[in-house]
Copies of this chain bind each other. A is one copy, B any other.
Amino acid sequence: MKIVSNNFANVAHGCRCVLGAGAMGMNYPLQSMSRTPTPRRRATLASLAAELKVSRTTVSNAYNRPDQLSAELRERVLSTAKRLGYPGPDPVARSLRTRRAGAVGLIITEPLNYSFSDPAALDFVAGLAESCEAVGQGLLLVAVGPNRSVSDGSAAVLAAGVDGFVIYSASDDDPYLPVVLQRHLPVVVVDQPRDVPGTSRVGIDDRAAMRALAEHVLDLGHREIGLLTMRLGRDWPHGGPGPALADPERVRTPDFHVQSERIAGVRDAMAAAGLDPNSLTVVESYEHLPTSGGAGADVALDANPRITALMCTADVLALSAMDRLRARGVYVPGQMTVTGFDGVPEALSRGLTTVRQPSIEKGRRAGELLHSPPRSGLPVVEVLDTEVVRGRTSGPPA
């Protein structure tokens, strides 16, 4: 009566039944074994249709177009589905047929533990997740972390079952960029790199924002400024893993646009104030450690003890720098002005002078751009607003 698969023996030892299909196996809980005729193999839409003696279309309709069949028939379909343990149409097969995966891929090349320790990055992910959720899309974290080789990571990109990608803050020469592009799927870039052909981008005006902040600092009377930033290039030409002075040449040819734009903003303000932009002491950090800012502050003050203001390209750097300064007995803002960038909650609550950027909104817009691309089909660049927050960590130089 029942048609039996020829590929699988009917395994039925003990309390559960393991049908081998793939490495992971599938668990049939106890109940389904005693209650129902154990299915020889996983139920499918076709087997359900056969059981019901209706066509596959009808079963499919029962799930996807309830209005296309009578309520009773639908009920009958659904209940025998339950009896057979049929979980509904297979997502993968459906995806193949409908040509939509129901998920967007998120590419973050930075170590996840970093991204997860920077509230600004997290806010971005939360915003993206929110917009995906709103349209019922899943969010796939693609396995491209630094623990894997680039070729493994590329394989993951190539193997991701997604309808599009979001690239979060990658360097100009990120090795996964071409791989992502190769998929010919819609792509939205967040922050950097700029000018990826055919892809939309959402970001902020880093240069203008940082310039406004620097003007505030200069207005207060500061003339010797130190700047702490994350690494400017994918490479790391310095000795140890700790923060290091960046020479002008390196500042001029960055892989990470965002960082260099922010530096450029400071230099703009300095030039406008009649200062030599090259007098800016730039220190870059390679690792994203909770103490990176503090270590960077040490390097900067070592290189130029006359610094009276420390500007940082991220709040996390600034907060760490503040902790370090306190430990060194340097009073903020009395003896040292410190500024950040991002406007994360802890920074705001600690009164940091900083630039607030809408990180959540960034994620949300990136998602929306993917879910409903602009009518024109042309890539767009969305520049979100920022705001200088004058806190309690900036004041006139001593």
Contact = CB atoms under 8 A, between A and B. Distances in A.
Interface stretch (A141-149, A212-220, A292-300): A141-149
Nearest to A42: B184
Contacts of A199: 27
Contacts of A155: 136
A27 B187 contact: yes
Nearest to A377: B18
Interface string A257-299: 0000000000000000000000000000000001000000000
Interface stretch (A9-17, A51-59, A335-343): A9-17
B163 A198 contact: no
Interface of A: 11, 13-16, 18, 21-31, 42, 85, 87-88, 90-96, 98-103, 105, 112-113, 116, 122-123, 125-126, 129-130, 132-134, 136-145, 147-148, 152, 155-156, 158-161, 163-164, 181-187, 197-199, 290, 345, 370, 373, 377-379
19 contacts: A22-B98, A24-B100, A26-B184, A26-B185, A26-B186, A27-B187, A30-B198, A31-B197, A87-B184, A90-B96, A93-B96, A105-B138, A112-B126, A116-B123, A122-B122, A129-B145, A138-B143, A138-B159, A140-B141
Given A15-B197, A30-B197, 20 more contacts: A11-B377, A22-B99, A22-B100, A23-B100, A24-B185, A24-B370, A25-B186, A27-B184, A28-B198, A29-B197, A87-B182, A91-B101, A91-B161, A93-B96, A103-B161, A133-B145, A136-B152, A138-B140, A138-B142, A290-B345
